[in-house]
Amino acid sequence: MAVWIQAQQLQGDALHQMQSLYGQHFPIEVRHYLSQWIEGQLWDVIDLENPQEEFKAKRLLDSLIQELQNKAEHQVGEDGFLLRIKLGHYASQLKSTYDRCPLELVRCIKHILYTEQRLVREATNSSSPLGGMMDSMSQKYQQINQAFEELRLMTQDTENDLRKLQHNQEYFIIQYQESVRIQAQLTSLATLPPADRQLREPALLNKRATVEAWLTREANTLQKYRLDLAEKHQKTLQLLRKQQTIILDDELIQWKRRQQLAGNGGPPEGGLDILQSWCEKLAEAIWQNRQQIRRAEHLRQQLPIPGPIEDLLNELNSTITDIISALVTSTFIIEKQPPQVLKTQTKFAATVRLLVGGKLNVHMNPPQVKATIISEQQAKSLLKNENTRNDSSGEILNNNCVMEYHQTTGTLSAHFRNMSLKRIKRSDRRGAESVTEEKFTILFESQFSIGGNELVFQVKTLSLPVVVIVHGSQDNNATATVLWDNAFAEPGRVPFLVPDKVLWPQLCDAINMKYKAEVQSNRGLSEENLVFLAQKAFSSSSNNPDDYRNMTMTWSQFNRESLPGRNFTFWQWFDGVMELTKKHLKPHWNDGAILGFVNKQQAQDMLMSKPNGTFLLRFSDSEIGGITIAWVAENPNKAGERMVWNLMPYTTKDFSIRSLADRISDLNHLLFLYPDRPKDEVFSKYYTPPLSKAVDGYVKPQIKQVVPEFATANSDPTGGKQTYMDHGASPSPVSHAHAYGIYPPMSDSMLDTDGDFDLDDTMDVARHVEELLRRPVESQWGGQQS
């Protein structure tokens, strides 16, 4: 109900847009009286493209009608009597409209709620710090709407002039016929006797002279009317071109740019409702003026009068055809892009939409859309209008779809739901380019006519670049190519050129946007995080952000050349961090528990000034997708000396066995999360609840983690009853349960002299524990219970 309360406060154009959402398909009274119920339903969980969801939609329709009927029955008094009748009528009307297509009701209400939320959000933002930008946008929208009003008045004016011209021309033709009749009478006088002819001829000659003089004057007047009308049409077409340029070259291009950035995790590009309404107004104005110009041409053909009007009308007709062609071809767009990392033999979807389809009645003969995958070179040739001989670079299954018209929203679109790339044909690669740097695009094309086959259009549109992979291991490198392209592509570029190097702050914006989207967090990368990344990218030690502002990073540095001393690139390391955080560390990142972007030396400097048991979490420098715990404690080999220890990095594999919070809980020597927060205060809400007691003589196995140098006699809250310890690829588990004969005690230290775990020394234990994890519980207990 909150949205509806705020929607009622809208003013001006926003209020008009909100009101236009309602009509016979969904009366505004229903929205008002059932606002709380409507906003309380889970409309978004229904997949409109899945026919099997129809039963859910039918249930919602029945509930809506029942709510309306209940509301009607509770109306009392004189006003209540009328409202009861009206609400009852609406219940019957909605049942009649949507009983056979309940999914359309869901589509309609989702569209209404989305638009209301957007209008409320925009109105709210206008009073925020972004108000200046919103005011500017509002001013732009106002200018566009004013231009449409001016076009409407100009079109109405030329319509009136055309009717006046038609009326005058019809009267002229009548007078011309009178002139012909007088001439015929004069000719017939030749058959009369001279006396009769002399008696009647002067009057007819005078009458003919009068009519011919009038015809001469009126012909000049008609010619002037025609020229004036043509001049007015020229001015109208100039304004139409200007308005169309603003909408197609500014607003629509900006929407496409937002759609491209959304592919990198930017904010949603927003709906197309306003753009469609503008395009439909353009289409209506263009079509009305086109019809007027055709009628003017018809009047000229009906009554040819020598002069320049014929050339003027031909020019106008050519111009208006160009304008409508540009509108139709530019508004054939991809509403939902195909995935930009496209794996072969995998189902994918896309949606194309014609913004003027409903207004031009294209749906009366629904066109078919075809999807084809083409290479970068083929895309270049296509935009140059070169003959590509219907070439493609692969085979897409289920690549034909008929456009459907949705009456409630007025949209004409084609939903490709089950496409699959069966095979791909790669081109010869350039230099060091890998297969994950090769870009393709999905070409969508269709053909349809408007105006009773008066105009036939062949429309085409290209998807954002896609990178084709055949194995999941190629995903991260393909994502790098897509990220770079989406972030740094220039509008109107030659497919699919991007700069080879960009300023570091530009790249920071791109990876921060991607990080926040992947991790689904409002906590992005701080300036300190970005300095850490700059140090890693440029092998620098400077902590001053200003030192990096004018530095550039090349594509090769980003994802072609390995970092110094490593076997992975900058992007591969960063992508590993994102994947680990997204899958296992999201709540801890959002809580601010993970510093993450800190190197080993920085961690040591930070911890040495803190009490023993203080720890922090940082992403591993040496391993992709790893996170390690660093903590400060006494040096067991040197009394009175403190040192910082680093646990061998955890990876996704480790967290799939035991969570980070539980691992931290296991390690009793970890006391305070840097700088001074008790660890239970930060992590206890994520601990796994204790296991239940033994049932029917069986004890459930429990995984625990122990660091040998820091294990204490009372470190096990279960009294030493664990059956086995965690696997030890990282961080080196040691068993306390020698009584069960799982594996012998390990007396050797697994920490090197720097406080780091040594991978080679722990692999035998790790393999042993992993083997134990795969055994049935019975075999581990050696038959002690049955």
User: Residue 645 maps to which CATH number?
Assistant: 3.30.505.10
How far is the C-alpha of 773 from the C-alpha of 703, rounded, in Å?
A: 9
Strand, coil or helix: 16: helix
456 and 391, same domain (yes or no): yes
pLDDT exceeds cutoff 70 at 750: no
Pair type for strands 672-673 and 677-678? antiparallel
293 and 203, same domain (yes or no): yes
Q: What is the pLDDT of residue 84?
A: 83
Q: What is the mean pLDDT of residues 390-414?
A: 88
451 and 494, same domain (yes or no): yes
Q: Is residue 739 included in any domain, yes or no?
A: no
Given 278, 304, 326, the domain boundary residue is 326
Q: What is the pLDDT of residue 739?
A: 28
pLDDT exceeds cutoff 80 at 568: yes
679 and 599, same domain (yes or no): yes
Q: Is residue 75 included in any domain, yes or no?
A: yes
Q: Is residue 53 included in any domain, yes or no?
A: yes
Given 668, 686, 704, the domain boundary residue is 686
For residue range 694-739, list pLDDT tens digits in order.
667 777 777 888 887 776 534 444 433 333 333 333 333 333 333 2
User: Residue 52 maps to which CATH number?
Assistant: 1.10.532.10
Q: b vs e for 353-368, b when ≥16 Cβ sit within 10 Å of the residue's Cβ?
A: bbbbbbbbebbeeebe
For residue range 193-230, list pLDDT tens digits in order.
888 778 888 888 898 899 889 989 999 999 999 999 99
Crossing angle for the helix pair 570-580 and 475-488, nearest 10 degrees?
100
pLDDT exceeds cutoff 90 at 4: no
Sequence-ordered strand ranges (E) for 576-692: 614-619, 627-634, 642-646, 672-673, 677-678
Closest C-alpha to 643, from 593, 676, 603, 595: 603
Residues 6+ apart with CB under 8 A from 131: 125
For residue range 625-646, list pLDDT tens digits in order.
999 999 999 887 787 888 898 9
- The residue with greater pLDDT, 768 or 513, is 513
On the 0-12 / 13-18 / 19+ scale of CB atoms within 10 A, 54 is: middle
70 and 171, same domain (yes or no): no
Given 126, 150, 166, the domain boundary residue is 126
Instruction: Specify the length of the chain in residues.
Output: 786
User: Which region, left, alpha or beta, applies to residue 135 given φ > 0 means left and ψ of -120 to 50 means alpha?
Assistant: alpha
Upper half-sphere CA count for residue 501 (Cβ side, 13 Å): 9
Does residue 733 have a cis peptide bond before it, meaning omega lies within 30 degrees of 0? no
Residue 755, beta-bridge partner list: none
Q: What is the pLDDT of residue 390?
A: 66
Q: What is the pLDDT of residue 228?
A: 95
Angle among Cα 55, 58, 60 to the nearest 5 degrees reads 115
**Lowest mean pLDDT across 187-191, 291-295, 769-773:** 769-773
How far is the C-alpha of 476 from the C-alpha of 518, rounded, in Å?
A: 13
pLDDT exceeds cutoff 70 at 128: no
Q: What is the pLDDT of residue 431?
A: 63
DSSP letter, residue 23: B
Check if the beta carbon of residue 701 is closer than 8 Å to that of residue 723: yes
29 and 73, same domain (yes or no): yes
- pTM exceeding the 0.75 threshold for the entire prediction: no
Helical (H) or strand (E) element with 661? helix 660-666
For residue range 587-623, list pLDDT tens digits in order.
999 989 999 999 889 999 999 989 999 999 999 998 8
pLDDT exceeds cutoff 50 at 757: no
Q: What is the mean pLDDT of residues 373-377?
A: 92
154 and 267, same domain (yes or no): yes
Q: Is residue 770 included in any domain, yes or no?
A: no
Query: Residue 634 corresponds to which amino acid?
Result: E
pLDDT band at 535 (very low <50, low <70, confident <90, very high): very high
User: Residue 380 maps to which CATH number?
Assistant: 2.60.40.630
176 and 274, same domain (yes or no): yes
Query: Residue 538 corresponds to which amino acid?
Result: F
Q: Is residue 756 included in any domain, yes or no?
A: no
Q: What is the mean pLDDT of residues 335-342?
A: 94
Q: What is the pLDDT of residue 169?
A: 92
314 and 353, same domain (yes or no): no
Q: Is residue 331 included in any domain, yes or no?
A: no
pLDDT band at 388 (very low <50, low <70, confident <90, very high): low
Query: Residue 231 corresponds to which amino acid?
Result: E
User: Residue 203 maps to which CATH number?
Assistant: 1.20.1050.20
Q: Which domain holds residue 509?
A: 502-686
pLDDT exceeds cutoff 90 at 42: no
How far is the C-alpha of 446 from the C-alpha of 419, rounded, in Å?
A: 17
How far is the C-alpha of 315 from the C-alpha of 304, rounded, in Å?
A: 17
- The residue with greater pLDDT, 697 or 571, is 571
Q: Is residue 572 included in any domain, yes or no?
A: yes
Q: What is the mean pLDDT of residues 46-66?
A: 84
Strand, coil or helix: 287: helix
Q: What percentage of the chain exceeds 70 in pLDDT?
A: 86
For residue range 57-105, list pLDDT tens digits in order.
888 898 889 888 888 887 766 667 788 888 888 888 888 888 888 888 8
- The residue with greater pLDDT, 101 or 461, is 461
How far is the C-alpha of 526 from the C-alpha of 597, rounded, in Å?
A: 10
How far is the C-alpha of 63 from the C-alpha of 490, rounded, in Å?
A: 50
Maximum distance among all Cα pairs of the chain, rounded to whole angstroms: 152
Q: Is residue 730 included in any domain, yes or no?
A: no
244 and 271, same domain (yes or no): yes
Crossing angle for the helix pair 77-98 and 102-125, nearest 10 degrees?
120
pLDDT exceeds cutoff 90 at 294: yes
What is the rounded end-to-end Cα distance, in angstroms, of the chain? 60
Q: What is the pLDDT of residue 14?
A: 82
Q: b vs e for 385-396, b when ≥16 Cβ sit within 10 Å of the residue's Cβ?
A: eeebeeebbbeb
Check if the beta carbon of residue 571 is closer than 8 Å to that of residue 514: no
Q: What is the mean pLDDT of residues 279-298?
A: 94
Q: What is the mean pLDDT of residues 370-387?
A: 87
pLDDT band at 752 (very low <50, low <70, confident <90, very high): very low
Average pLDDT, the chain: 83
Q: What is the number of structural domains in the chain?
A: 4
Q: What is the pLDDT of residue 660?
A: 93
105 and 91, same domain (yes or no): yes
pLDDT exceeds cutoff 80 at 772: no
295 and 376, same domain (yes or no): no
Q: What is the pLDDT of residue 432?
A: 63
pLDDT exceeds cutoff 60 at 759: no
